[in-house]
Amino acid sequence: MPEPTTPTLPFSSLPLEPVGPPYNAWGRYGSSDQLGTLNMLTPSTVAAAARTEIRTGTRVSLDWPLSKPTYPSYGRDRLKHVIRRRGPEGRVVNDDVLEFNTQVSSQWDGLRHYGYSDAQRYYNNTTDEQLHASPTLGIDAFASSGGIVGRGILLDYASWAEANSIQINPLASTSIPLTHLQRLIASHNIALSPGGGDILFIRSGLTAAFDKLDDSSQCMLSERPTADFAGVEATEEVLKWLWDSKFAAVAGDMPAFERSPPGGGKSDAYPAEEATLQGVGSLHEVLLGGWGCPIGEMFDLEALAELCKKEARWSFFVSSVPLKVPGGVASPPNAVAVF
């Protein structure tokens, strides 16, 4: 049986649904599609990634502990973990119970997380009423398809910026310009897979910066009036680059991947970014609501960056299987990079 193929379409062909919101790719994989850009992770694409990227068998976890950040931003509750002894005292059996917001630590944003604000639609023209009446677009579809598995590439922006005397504060609302990422790719001789399907990771240094704070400072960070964090600039040029690069998924150690607050382009503080996005306020609207492209946030990329430097290579095999929760909105990634 032949594998499904991803239609090669220029960015200028968007929106695919003419009466839909800006930049949408609705119908690219059919009207009932649940996977979006993960359709690029065909068996042959994954097999090729395994052949070329797995060489030493060294593995690196990409998950931050579920207990971090200790004091979450965006008004979300932190992890509650209870260990319960099973049976009478003296019986050496325990269960544990976890209660947590799937957006609170390392996570994949699923296709139920974010839609187009003005159009009030999620991926493939799905309404909020449809999401609440059925498990459609649930993150369990990612797990059922075999997970987010393939060739990963790391853009270590934090190290590159330091080497080029460029200041970046991952704990402040600043943009990572596309021009910088393109220079980084050129300087590290990173080649994207011509057929697409790469999984993009960008390191801003967020988790390392957070871990340097004492408890009081971590608490104050969560109590700021707005959740200000560094991230990729929200511009049409970035959207075009992501589309043309044919990424199956995008991720970073940043709390929003893009500059936070999400949709900051709608305020006077972000006039340049607002001017370049037509009718939308954030990358989230287009990536999740328009293309069905999973967004990974708050991944722990510190050990990965060190290993990439040691091995002098910036690509690797990545395996990530989200929780199989029917109708789930997001999930810890349960991700590992293999060299």
Q: Could you read off the pLDDT of 13-62 as tens digits, one per residue? A: 999 999 999 999 999 999 999 999 999 999 999 999 999 999 999 999 99
For the stretch 80-124, pLDDT in tens is 999 999 988 889 999 999 999 999 999 999 999 999 999 999 999
Distance in angstroms (rounded) separating the CA atoms of residues 281 and 265: 6
The mean pLDDT of the chain is 93
Count the residues in the chain: 339
For the stretch 139-152, pLDDT in tens is 999 999 999 999 99
- With CA atoms as reference, report the closest residue to 334 among 142, 96, 197: 142
Evaluate if residue 172 carries a pLDDT over 80. yes
